[in-house]
A and B are shown apart, each in its own frame.
Chain A
Amino acid sequence: MTTTLIGQPVTRVDGHAKVTGAAKYTAEISLPGMRHAVIAGSEIPAGRITGIDKSRAMAEPGVLAVLTHEDLPKVATQPVLTLSLAGTVAHGQSFFPMQDPVIHYAGQPVAIVVGETLDAATRGAELLDVTYERTESITVIDEGRDRSYVPEKILAGLAPGEMGRGDVAAGLAAAELTVEATFTFSANHQNPLEMSASVASWDDGQLTLWDATHGPTATQMTVASLLGIPASRIRVITRFVGGSFGAKAMIWAHPTLAAMTAQIMHRPIKLALTREQMFTGCGLREDNEQTITLGAAADGRLTAIRHEKLSITSAYDDWAEPALSGSGELYACDNFAAVYHLIKGNTMTPTFMRGPGETAGLAVLECAMDELAERAGLDPVELRVRNHADVDPVSGRPWSSKGLKECYERGAELIGWGDRDPRPGMRRDGDWLIGMGMATAIYPVYPLMNPQRARARLYADGTAVIQTAASDIGTGAATVLTQIAAEGLGLPLEMVRVEYGDTSLPFLAASVGSTGSTAGGNAVHLAATGLREQLVAQAVQDEGSPLHGADPELVDVVDGVMVGPSGSESYGEMLGRNFVPETEYLGTYQHRVDDEHALLNFGAQFAEVAVDAALGVVRVRRMAGVFAPGRVLNQKTARSQLMGGMIWGLSQALLEASHMDPRFGRWANPSLGDYLVPVNADVPEVMVETVEVDDPFINPLGIKGIGEIGMVGMAGAIANAVYNATGRRVRSFPITIESLL
């Protein structure tokens, strides 16, 4: 390698388009003759439609059509919940709406209104008269507590409903200290700022679909299976995505509904969800209750961990966020048991939301560890170091890399942990009680299941294009792929452009579960280095080249110039001489399953909070996060990702809650005015650092991912800081003023 572009704080390559307004997001695509479609959702959570009177809607000027379950074609295959990690078919739930009059959840699409304008379609949907027969519904845990069951599998069959090792009863019997506590978590909705949207256009049996998605190929394969047409007849394009946080990871009904409507109307159709529909159209993080029991010896060493979760899932899928596995992986403990309990209710199938599982599960484990530290008379950091897992407690294998102790140490330094008084309620600043807390962060390193591909193409003018299908949801993927490509090819950054977010490009799964840079990065690395080797090989065989006969191993490439021991020429000169306008190489990255090492991502998080002693208002004053996410590809965009994750943790701890009104079975606060997310004034300065760990086992570039690790420990650290400030163990999230009065 001649340059070290990887890791540099390069400015976002798509940033200029974003700050000038030139960036086009899905709902901003306009096509000639295009019309607008608006979904009308069910007003009841359970029952059936008894009648739909279209007359008032159709009388509205500009309304072109009202489509109901009687007008829509039947889907070609019944969807079955499938996770989006593979970038292939990814049904968000085992249900497709508008096939019959049955209602499973409020907001379920019951009709599509098509209008000349967005206003006409919207007004038409408001005027639609739908009558229902409502049946009994279950929308909150208390309504179904007595009907809970233990699923055989969760997560579309990928994880067991129960797991464990050792003998928890014996571990607890042997314990000198125990902590047992029950926590509750409000339902959360991802609410990316860009609402989901699809634009569908048919041309001679070919469907072009613009869709706001992590993985265009996932949309392509999912829509193909529902419409019953070959994938080769569908092209999906996703240029810019205005955030997702899981809302756009699975493929929900709207792209297929847009395609069906466009087919019926013989016109391109734009279908955008409203903000309210973002609460009923893209899954959710389910509200849940968790109970944890820790047993420990007097010195704080864990002897047993039991962790259970109860939550509501849909009528047709066993979904639970995998909140419990982290408790089995984080600390050295021989005895561990975890059980998921589910209740079938009237909700759509819950889904991924940033830090799926760990976000809630670790808050529980880490709050319990804080209590245990107090019981044991130990500093919370010291307790964690004593229980440090030197090898993976699940498999017994060594870690591919860890770095956690360094994260604790550096994080404690950044926040000034030494100033913390272990006795709660001791520090004051005027009316404010001051406290500090910390927690560990871990996040799985998900294996990539299938070959990931990228194409590198070099033109005779010396510029290069990198092509790969997955989209950039705001993570900075396009930027790091440009860096990796430029470094691999030996070109300056400005000579390399990435094309992405299009199924006509080589397959790349989707940026989900913090796998985006691993998949894209390694594929692009192989494409770029492969093309460079191909070009050098060509040069040393070319009699017209000054490099002719040189040992390819001794050829370096600097700024597009191949430099050999006895001569040099640029890529462009060689291609031009041979009348080759462009040349390509397809890189394929197949994740190698390493059965000798355990893979996990680590970090440590610290918070200082101030709690108004009289009013219970909590303000986070400082946050520090130190992470060991393997190789960092871009210091600037990585910092933003980790910082964003930490602020998401603040939000989970103190703000975000979707409130269900069980009388109506509907969300009571489906708007950005009522569903609280942090505003600028809620957010303090955030200290973020990474600890460099060299991980030669995980993948060629040594990447673990940074999308979620920033979030997952934060809520626990904040709750523990609130305890340190006030002496109150609040066990329901978000922590509200009411819970501190």
Chain B
Amino acid sequence: MDGPLEKIERGPEPAKLSLSVNGATLVAEVEPRASLLDTLRETLDLTGTKKGCNQGACGACTVWVDGRRVVSCLTLAVACEGREVTTIEGLVEHPMQEAFLSCDALQCGYCTPGQIMSAVKLLEEGHAGNDAEIAEWMSGNLCRCAAYPHIRQAIREVRDGEHQ
């Protein structure tokens, strides 16, 4: 993330943190070492964002910070003060959700919020020109149930305007 951060002199004890999540300002007591992922899941009860590895390897925790996709397990919550965080709960009846459902681009559903948060951005970023490009740019999101061909199909269908 770019932009200057305020000098923070808090911690190691939990400190008050104000976060803008899905358009709402939420105030939480968190330790400065807490990741954005744990803060969303454990403190703010926004559990739509999933933890698959906590090491930046699976993409299940993908959210948007200031409109860009990031893995929230490797992002500190304090670093998101003053930024706009968007999670799967902030997506309301998005065509991508509908496409994932109709294409059965999921099984257990655990990777799904992360896949959708990535997929929406991928389209905006213009990386969905063809299947090879979709596959490449979606390869940061693991799906152990291996719904990959259906995930590509869902993204194609949204790209082509089949889910308005």
Contact = CB atoms under 8 A, between A and B. Distances in A.
Interface of A: 11-12, 14-25, 27-28, 30, 36, 61-62, 117-120, 191-195, 240-243, 245, 274-275, 473-476, 636-637, 639-641, 643-644, 647-648, 651, 671-673, 677-686
Contact of A241 (B31, B60, B108): B108
23 contacts: A15-B101, A18-B112, A28-B41, A117-B42, A119-B34, A192-B108, A193-B110, A243-B144, A245-B144, A275-B55, A474-B107, A476-B107, A643-B146, A644-B146, A673-B53, A677-B142, A678-B148, A679-B139, A679-B141, A681-B139, A683-B146, A683-B148, A685-B149
A119 B138 CA distance: 30
Interface in B143-164: 143-152
Given A25-B50, A637-B104, A683-B149, 4 more contacts: A25-B110, A672-B57, A679-B148, A680-B138
Contacts, number: 180
A12 B101 contact: yes
Interface of B: 12-14, 31, 33-34, 38, 41-42, 45-58, 60, 87-89, 91, 97-98, 100-102, 104, 106-113, 116, 132, 134-136, 138-152
Nearest to B47: A28
A402 B124 CA distance: 49
A173 to B, nearest CB: 45
Nearest to A684: B149
Contact of A473 (B51, B108, B132): B108
By Cβ-Cβ distance, the 10 closest A-B pairs, closest first, are: A21-B48, A474-B108, A242-B110, A18-B109, A647-B146, A21-B88, A28-B47, A679-B139, A673-B57, A474-B107
A16 B110 contact: no
A61 B13 contact: yes
A35 to B, nearest CB: 11
B107 A475 contact: yes
Contacts of B38: 118-119
Interface centre among B58, B91, B144 (most CB of A within 10 A): B144
B146 A671 contact: no
Interface centre among A12, A36, A475 (most CB of B within 10 A): A12
Given A15-B101, A647-B146, A193 B50 contact: yes
Contact of B57 (A20, A639, A671, A680): A671
Given A194-B50, A640-B104, A672-B53, A20 B150 contact: no
Given A475-B107, A680-B138, A680-B141, A21 B47 contact: yes
Contacts of B60: 193
A644 B101 contact: no
Contacts of B33: 119
A19 B50 CA distance: 12
Contact of A680 (B51, B55, B106, B135): B135
Given A117-B34, A245-B144, A678-B148, A275 B54 contact: yes
Nearest to A9: B104
Nearest to B42: A118
Interface centre among B14, B41, B110 (most CB of A within 10 A): B110
A19 B150 CA distance: 14
